[in-house]
Amino acid sequence: MITLEDIKSAQARIAGVAVNTPLVHYTDFSTDRQTFPKPESFQPVGAFKLRGAYNKIASLSPDQRRQGVIAFSSGNHAQGVAYAARAMGIRAVIVMPARAPAIKRAKTLDLGAEIVTVEGGGEEEWRVAAETLAAERGLAMVPPFDDETIIAGQATVGLEILQDLPDVELVLVPIGGGGLISGVAAALKLIRPEIHVVGVEPEWANDAQASLRSGRIVELPIEQTGRTIADGMRATRIGDITFEHIRTFVDDIITVSEDEIRKAVRKLILDARLVVEPSGAVTFAAFLYHQHELPPAKRSVTVISGGNVDPELLSQILAEED
């Protein structure tokens, strides 16, 4: 389990590389409810993943950095690792599925990473391919979420929330593999245990919710998780380390529908002027459409995890009507 000292060390390490993202005030005028979206889409790579990736790579030994790093990712973690590696002048190899969004693949290449494509399969197949290459080339692995150094980097989001909104009562956090919510919840609860932390997942990818409620890690079929529009949340299971953090620090996990995610993306763009990807909009969807499942709170934060949305998909969503 990470400690407050781990999180503060990570904050110092990533300073000047990751952006201290602001809280944006939002009022739903139909209900007068208010929240503060925290747009991690403002990061140089368009998502929170830079925090953990840079913290992990900066924590490697000089010899490990000289050899280079490797990661497996469908997009945002890939960009975070590629950006961090370039910032430190080391090589990065990324194992990506062939179905990864074209915009995320292109941006990863632009950052100078080598991409190795894997046809079909799920995250386990990508991980095995990455581990094989790591052994062959002597590369250091940078995991996407199930790693305490990665989690400590993501936890800096929680420290920033407390710095900008000390009296926050409720924080909504997206869940893919669980690294972001593990870190944010730890940072918040270690400082102010009374804050409510609620995770949000798509209905089609509710592995973390099922795991928290059953007390054991539940794995879903990729045929199910692959159906969600939230491509950054298609992990079939959370990690062992993230599960322990979630069980310790997270109050509840709720789900939102595909239609609610699409409407939340559109509303964030048109009303809050924030361009987000579907994975980043799930918390806002929960705020808009699931108040009955949330603890009452006058001051809440909705963490917007990223903004790397495919332009064609974005065009489709904007053309839809509520």
Shared domain check, 280 and 210: yes
pLDDT at residue 322 greater than cutoff 80: no
For residue range 123-136, list pLDDT tens digits in order: 778 889 999 999 99
Q: What SS3 string covers 269-290? A: HHHHCCCCCHHHHHHHHHHHHC
Shared domain check, 276 and 162: yes
Shared domain check, 128 and 196: no
Tell me what the pLDDT averaged over the chain comes to. Answer: 95
Mean pLDDT over 195-216 rounds to 98
pLDDT at residue 122 greater than cutoff 80: no
Using the 3D structure, point to which of 94, 120, 141 is the last residue of a domain: 141
Using the 3D structure, point to which of 123, 141, 159 is the last residue of a domain: 141
For residue range 307-319, list pLDDT tens digits in order: 999 899 999 999 9
Domain count, the chain: 2
Band (32; pLDDT cuts 50, 70, 90): confident
For residue range 241-277, list pLDDT tens digits in order: 999 999 999 999 999 999 999 999 999 999 999 999 9
Extract the tokens encoding 80: 């975070």
Q: Tell me which residues are annotated as active site.
A: 49, 305
Counting residues of the chain whose pLDDT is more than 90, the rounded percentage is: 85
Using the 3D structure, point to which of 141, 163, 178 is the last residue of a domain: 141
In this structure, what CATH number is given to the domain that contains residue 121? Answer: 3.40.50.1100
Shared domain check, 101 and 184: no
Strands 69-72 and 140-141: parallel
Q: Which residue has the tokens 């495919």?
A: 310
- Indicate the residue type of 221: P
Shared domain check, 272 and 165: yes
Domain that holds residue 313: 4-48+148-319
Q: Residue 27, Cα to own-chain centre: how many angstroms?
A: 24
- How many helices and strands in the chain, by DSSP H and E? 15, 10
Band (101; pLDDT cuts 50, 70, 90): confident
For residue range 168-188, list pLDDT tens digits in order: 999 999 999 999 999 999 999
The Cα 292–Cα 98 span in angstroms is 39
